[in-house]
Amino acid sequence: MEVGSSVRAFLCVTLPDAELESLGAFVVSLGVFPGFRWVGSERLHITLRFLGDVTADQVMKLDTNLSGLGGRPFDLSLSGVGAYPSLSRVKALWLGVKDGSGQLGRLAALVEKASVSAGCEPEPRRFHPHLTLARARAERGAAPLPDELAGRLSEAPAISWTCDSFTLMRSELAKTGPSYTPMRRYPF
């Protein structure tokens, strides 16, 4: 990254390959339901902190701050479908974090502190751990979740793994959707 340039970035927890493949195949099977933009398997993750546009200097400070976080691996599992702002007015569909949400919340708090120390604006929203599955298309509006889709979502595969790292991810926006490129992985 060149001095003076900036990148759009976020910090996240990614899934191991086997779990990513399983969940990705399930999401692909939901593509038959219109009115949603389903997240491709290469973009499935749990966001710890959206950073927005960060400068090369902020990335260097952030890298220093995050390299010293430490921590211990912990078990995570995903379960339960939810929606923003609600199931009666769906704008986004997500899977919740069942096991490990406390540890994930502590990690998000450490990441927040490291981000602010690197010069990022404080995050005004409370951390709500989830994995986004889809966003409603504009033409659909914020309508209730269709019963047939709710039934299919209840069949989501059980996803569990040991979280032993988090990632600084670059996000590049395009007409076909965002693409994500890992910039640095932080093991613990």
Given a contact cutoff of 8 angstroms between Cβ atoms, the answer to whether 59 and 114 are in contact is no
Q: Are strands 74-86 and 165-172 parallel, antiparallel or unpaired?
A: unpaired
Residue 89's nearest CA partner among 37, 141, 134, 128 is: 141
CATH topology of domain 6-187: Cyclic Phosphodiesterase; Chain: A, (3.90.1140)
pLDDT (tens digit, 0 to 9) for every residue of the chain, 188 residues total?
555 589 999 999 999 999 999 999 999 999 999 899 999 999 999 999 999 999 999 999 999 999 988 789 999 999 999 999 998 999 999 999 999 999 999 999 999 999 999 999 999 999 999 999 999 987 777 788 999 999 999 999 999 999 999 999 999 988 878 899 999 999 98
Burial category of 51 from C-beta neighbours within 10 Å (exposed 0-12, middle 13-18, buried 19 and up): buried
Cα–Cα distance measured from residue 111 to residue 105, given in angstroms and rounded to the nearest whole number: 10
Q: Which residues does the annotation mark as catalytic?
A: 45, 130
Transcribe 1-66 into DSSP letters.
--TT-EEEEEEEEE--HHHHHHHHHHHHHGGGSTTEEEPPGGG-EEEEEEEEEEEHHHHHHHHHHH
